[in-house]
Structure 1
Amino acid sequence: MLKFVKNHMESITGIEVYPMISLLIFFIFFVALFWWVFTAKKEHIEEVSQIPLDTNNENELPL
């Protein structure tokens, strides 16, 4: 089965570009995430980190 898949994949023209595109998307996403983490305002991070602990949240759903 694997031999069939390998031979079939080799017959597709231009298929070698897809792994490179995937790697590029992966790399760009994590570079952007890394950049956002280091440039985010500390006040925003503090505010967001307290959301799970906030007992006076007006947006809570009743149980």
Structure 2
Amino acid sequence: MLKFVKGHMESIEGIEIYPMISLLIFFIFFAALFWWVFTAKKEHIKEVSNIPLETNKDITL
């Protein structure tokens, strides 16, 4: 099946740019995420990390 897909992909002109674009998007996303993690305020991180532990007595299951 891979030969079937590869054969069709080789016949499309200009398709070699798409893997480069996807790698660039992947790299930019994780670089931005890495930057956000190191520049986020510690108070915000503590507040967000405690959200699952908070209980609300008004909610009935």
TM bucket normalised to smaller: 0.7 to 0.9
TM-score relative to the length of structure 1: 0.84
Distance in 2 separating the partners of 1:5 and 1:24: 23
TM-score relative to the length of structure 2: 0.86
Number of residue pairs the alignment of both structures matches: 61
Of all paired residues, the percent bearing the same amino acid is 82
Give unpaired runs (5+ residues) of structure 2. none
Question: Residue in 2 aligned with 1:26?
Answer: 26
Give unpaired runs (5+ residues) of structure 1. none
Runs of 4+ in 1 over 6 A off after TM superposition: none
CA-based RMSD of the aligned residues comes to 1.7
